[in-house]
């Protein structure tokens, strides 16, 4: 369960996240949707505990910067940052040691197989393509079997096989009760995956819908998205 309460993040005087309050339940997959610059990455980084912010963020009841929260949080950043001089397999080993995992080897091999990294296991981080680096990030995040999974634009740069596998993995994690948060600027890329969507614009959540609400009302989510993200902003109106 993720609880975000009055999250505000400023970069100097610029407000990138403006008083965000939302909850994502156990086993629920939420999408933070919005155009470039809406504040999605900033929110994900705040939840991951990487930025200072005002407000409160709780991960399964723990403050997000606590050790207890970090132990159950998996984060796949928008820009992968593998260690240059560790091999693919050593990344798995590093995560396993850092999180004190036991009997992790078979799971690591299975994840690497699903992301088609098995034949790259001895390659160094710096020798991998951007897509392969992204796949390592995914394997590292999934290896710890987190209770909360954060994905920042996860499908950008992945090949079709990896996209298919990742969507399967997300379904499996959800079945186990994992809370999943995905940021994306392309709503159709997460079709069939989400239970709840938050549409962001100018650092604010402008609309929230559950899948059931959309299905019951027959509302067109794409139209809602564009009606929010393409309306003249207050700032533009002031010019
Ligand atoms: P999104 O992920 O929706 O594309 P971001 O959260 O990356 O949006 O950015 C939101 C806003 O915050 C943008 O206007 C961006 O320029 C600004 N921003 C992001 N990171 C920084 C930073 N480190 N310093 C200053 N401004 C930033």
Q: 83: Cβ below 6 Å to ligand 1?
A: no
Task: Give the ligand 1 atom nearest the CA of 153.
Answer: 2
For the entire predicted model, the pTM comes to 0.94
Q: Residue 212, class by beta-carbon neighbours within 10 Å (0-12 exposed, 13-18 middle, 19+ buried)?
A: exposed
Ligand 1 centroid vs 116 CA: distance in angstroms? Answer: 32
Ligand 1 pocket mutation, candidates 17, 36, 37, 53, criterion most atoms within 8 A of CB: 37
Q: Residue 60, class by beta-carbon neighbours within 10 Å (0-12 exposed, 13-18 middle, 19+ buried)?
A: middle
Tell me: the pLDDT tens digits for 47-73? 999 999 999 999 999 999 999 999 999
Q: 36: Cβ below 6 Å to ligand 1?
A: yes
DSSP 123: S
Residue nearest to atom 12 of ligand 1 (CA): 16
Tell me: the pLDDT tens digits for 78-135? 999 999 999 999 999 999 999 999 999 999 999 999 999 999 999 999 999 999 999 9
List the beta strands (DSSP E) in 112-178.
Answer: 148-152
């Amino acid at each position: 369960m993720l609880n975000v309460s009055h999250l505000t993040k400023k970069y100097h005087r610029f407000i990138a996240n403006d008083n965000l309050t939302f909850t994502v339940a156990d086993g629920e997959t939420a999408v933070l949707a919005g155009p470039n610059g809406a504040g999605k990455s900033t929110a994900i980084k705040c939840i991951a505990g990487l930025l200072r912010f005002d407000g409160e963020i709780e991960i399964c009841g723990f403050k997000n910067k606590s050790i207890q929260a970090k132990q159950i949080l998996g984060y796949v950043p928008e820009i992968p940052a593998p260690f240059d001089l560790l091999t693919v397999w050593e990344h798995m080993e590093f995560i396993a040691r850092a999180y004190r995992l036991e009997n992790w080897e078979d799971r690591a091999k299975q994840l690497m197989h699903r992301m088609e990294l098995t034949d790259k296991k001895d390659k160094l981080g710096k020798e991998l393509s951007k897509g392969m680096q992204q796949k390592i990030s995914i394997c590292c995040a999934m290896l710890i079997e987190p209770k909360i999974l954060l994905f920042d634009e996860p499908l950008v740069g992945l090949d079709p096989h990896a996209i298919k596998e990742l969507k399967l993995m997300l379904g499996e994690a959800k079945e186990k009760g994992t809370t999943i948060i995905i940021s994306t600027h392309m709503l159709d890329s997460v079709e069939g995956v989400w239970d709840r969507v938050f549409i962001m614009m100018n650092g604010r959540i402008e609309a929230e819908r559950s899948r059931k609400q959309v299905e019951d009302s027959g509302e067109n989510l794409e139209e809602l998205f564009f009606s929010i993200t393409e309306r003249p902003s207050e700032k533009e109106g002031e010019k």
